[in-house]
Structure 1
Amino acid sequence: MTTDSAPDAARRTYSYLGPAGTFTEAALSQVPEARNQIWKPVRNVAEALDDVVQGRSDAAMIAIENSVDGGVSTAQDALATMPGIRIVGEYLVPVSFVLVARPGTSLADVSLVAAHPVAYAQCLIWLGRELPAHAHLPASSNVASALGLIDGSSDADAAIAPPGILEHHDLQLLAEDIGDNRQAVTRFVLVQRTVTPPPPTGADKTSLIVELPQEYPGALMEMLEQFATRGINLSLLASRPVGDALGRYRFVIDADGHIQDERMADALMGLRRFSPKVIFLGSYPRADRVINRYPDRYSDDVFVEARDWLRSLVAGEPEA
């Protein structure tokens, strides 16, 4: 999305999973500062992140989690292995799907369905009921699955796509609202090169990737205690293989709060002492803007008072 009111040199560039019409583009449309800027469609998450790291784009929008299918493993693994990335915001997009085909096709003609793997997983109940003998042809994006029908590059008989595809292309609608969960939502994050985190709002989230130091009984519990003993709720805890040996895992974590919160800063220092590798992905406003709640004993003032008390003891000052 661009306008002709300003030269390209004056615009910022945003990478997103294309082509135009994807859910990722819908997420990018929620970013006020991205409007009237250059939107660059890319083929995969790694390309979007590499655009940011290499300076070809100022930011990238990527899908990170779905309410039905869980974490997007390709995005989590890319964030774990590409340094110099920070998440600066998150955005939620309601998800619904249609089944489309070339004009003249009927549902009875369909045996091969093109779909992005995440979209396919969210339509399995409908597909199993209506097309029990179908096969799946993976596509690079929800829109690309349908475009392959139009340009002849796909052998599929039909495609799972966003409803908006029908506004831009001449396709036959075979079925609508085929998702298994009407409340499905995909969470997207906007990433930039390493920057200072946005200031705390009181409704914030901190994303991390943490590796366990070694396998021993209670190692995972010790990691989780860094948050529990400081009153920090975890909204996401997912494991991903490190890849260098069997049984080695890293943990993708979303924690309620901001790095400038005393309790979160204290937890991060605890993690740093505990783990050989802690990747700070960013602190940023929650998409739902829900204020983080915690007991009074975990307020910033309590942490500051405890630190001042310890310093007074070290300094030999009389206790009040």
Structure 2
Amino acid sequence: MTDAPAPTPSYSYLGPAGTFTEAALKQVPEARGTNWRPVNNVGEALADVVAGRSVAAMIAIENSVDGGVSATQDALATVPGLRIIGEYLVPVNFVLVARRGTALAEVRVVNAHPVAYGQSRGWLERHLPAHGHIPATSNVQAAASLFEEGDRADAAVAPPGIVELLDVDVLARDIGDNPNAVTRFVLVGRSRELPAPTGADKTSVIVELPDDEPGALLAMLEQFSTRGVNLSLIQSRPIGDALGRYRFVIDLEGHVRDERVADALLGLRRFSPNVIFLGSYPRADRREIQYHSKYDDGVFVEARDWLRGILSGEPEG
């Protein structure tokens, strides 16, 4: 009797097919040839990971126009045992599509995901000043809804690849207000294994302030500045248990195995009642981290050796 083949791994992503999240998942070599599970929201994607239905989930965490994605940040703060194992960048632009035969002048109501609507609102107000907006659950669903019975929209804001999925007319291209818009996605799993440092890494943590008092935020930031660690993102989110209580979502440059980063995290842990380590992983842009030589690993190692010698009574020399 032969052993049954191992089940094919699954990856979860915000569906349906054709979303920007799927475009991010296509960048993951390990995901090729696996099962992809389209889900409706971040909570469902992470629930798949926690339950073991998926080995990892691709979720949006930051947009160059709108900033951090609060639903993702809050989920990472409250769902235990998760780790970011990679990040991926997807350029974001939109097209305006409609059912075949619809002219731009006939458009009165537009389906659009709220984020997509916010990023194309300037174009819509210039070209369709009297339009109405119906929110959609995803960029692809905005276009798919045009074919649902009872849908009141005449057009939809959608990703450019929608023409490969639906029989629609493209009324306008490149309608995003910012041509440089990019969304940052992270692949989230449960693996505790840290990837080796590459010199072009990022570390993500979530930190609570110990007290609501003057200087608390400054004291937290000093844990990084005094060790030469640059922050690429810091965003506050309410903890929810009382007014004035916040946690901070932080991305910092470097790997936890870098001495300066490790020392900063130790200081942070002494300072804060709750530090959630989300992972160290290669930067999507592979840009090498630059820092002053006084924060080289050897400087921290030498300082520890000096103190160890003092404590052990070794003669100075």
- Matched with 1:32 is 29
Instruction: Give CA deviations for 1:69-100 in whole Å, capped at 9, x if unaligned.
Output: 11111111111111110000000111110011
Match 1:313 to one of 290, 310, 313: 310
Note the aligned Cα RMSD (angstroms): 1.4
Matches within 5 A, 1:89-104: 89-104=86-101
- Matched with 2:277 is 280
Please state whether the residue corresponding to 1:143 is helix, strand or coil: helix
Task: Give the letter aligned to residue 140 of structure 1.
Answer: T
Distance 1:153 1:257, change over 3 A: farther
- Matched with 1:302 is 299
* CA drift at 1:108: 2.4
In the alignment, the residues of structure 1 paired with residue 202 and residue 12 of structure 2 have an alpha-carbon distance, to the nearest angstrom, of 23
Matches within 5 A, 1:165-176: 165-176=162-173
- Matched with 1:164 is 161
- Matched with 2:247 is 250
- Matched with 1:191 is 188
Q: Does 1:41 align with 2:38?
A: yes
In the alignment, the residues of structure 2 paired with residue 103 and residue 73 of structure 1 have an alpha-carbon distance, to the nearest angstrom, of 37
In the alignment, the residues of structure 1 paired with residue 151 and residue 65 of structure 2 have an alpha-carbon distance, to the nearest angstrom, of 27
- Matched with 1:3 is none
Instruction: Give CA deviations for 1:126-180 in whole Å, capped at 9, x if unaligned.
Output: 1121122222222111101111112336332211100110122111211110001
Task: Give the letter aligned to residue 10 of structure 2.
Answer: T
Deviates more, 1:71-80 or 1:127-136: 127-136
In the alignment, the residues of structure 1 paired with residue 217 and residue 226 of structure 2 have an alpha-carbon distance, to the nearest angstrom, of 14
Gaps of 5+ in 1: 1-5
Match 2:84 to one of 84, 87, 105: 87
Task: Give the letter aligned to residue 187 of structure 1.
Answer: R
Q: Does 1:19 align with 2:19?
A: no
Please state whether the residue corresponding to 1:165 is helix, strand or coil: helix
Distance 1:201 1:153, change over 3 A: farther
Deviates more, 1:228-237 or 1:147-156: 147-156
* CA drift at 1:106: 2.0
Task: Give the letter aligned to residue 147 of structure 1.
Answer: A
In the alignment, the residues of structure 1 paired with residue 210 and residue 129 of structure 2 have an alpha-carbon distance, to the nearest angstrom, of 46
Between the aligned residues of both structures, percent identity stands at 70
Match 1:129 to one of 121, 126, 133: 126
Task: Give the letter aligned to residue 53 of structure 1.
Answer: V
In the alignment, the residues of structure 1 paired with residue 117 and residue 247 of structure 2 have an alpha-carbon distance, to the nearest angstrom, of 27
Task: Give the letter aligned to residue 141 of structure 2.
Answer: A
Match 2:105 to one of 104, 108, 123: 108
Task: Give the letter aligned to residue 137 of structure 2.
Answer: S
Please state whether the residue corresponding to 1:123 is helix, strand or coil: helix
In the alignment, the residues of structure 2 paired with residue 170 and residue 151 of structure 1 have an alpha-carbon distance, to the nearest angstrom, of 13
Please state whether the residue corresponding to 2:281 is helix, strand or coil: strand
Distance 1:289 1:151, change over 3 A: same
Distance 1:122 1:134, change over 3 A: same
Task: Give the letter aligned to residue 232 of structure 1.
Answer: V
In the alignment, the residues of structure 1 paired with residue 14 and residue 150 of structure 2 have an alpha-carbon distance, to the nearest angstrom, of 19
Task: Give the letter aligned to residue 77 of structure 2.
Answer: A
- Matched with 2:140 is 143
In the alignment, the residues of structure 1 paired with residue 153 and residue 236 of structure 2 have an alpha-carbon distance, to the nearest angstrom, of 34
Distance 1:273 1:154, change over 3 A: farther
In the alignment, the residues of structure 1 paired with residue 19 and residue 35 of structure 2 have an alpha-carbon distance, to the nearest angstrom, of 16
* CA drift at 1:194: 4.0
Please state whether the residue corresponding to 2:285 is helix, strand or coil: coil
In the alignment, the residues of structure 2 paired with residue 42 and residue 155 of structure 1 have an alpha-carbon distance, to the nearest angstrom, of 25
In the alignment, the residues of structure 2 paired with residue 249 and residue 158 of structure 1 have an alpha-carbon distance, to the nearest angstrom, of 40
Match 1:54 to one of 51, 68, 77: 51
* CA drift at 1:245: 1.6
TM-score, normalised by the number of residues in structure 1: 0.95
TM-score, normalised by the number of residues in structure 2: 0.96
Gaps of 5+ in 2: none
Task: Give the letter aligned to residue 164 of structure 1.
Answer: G
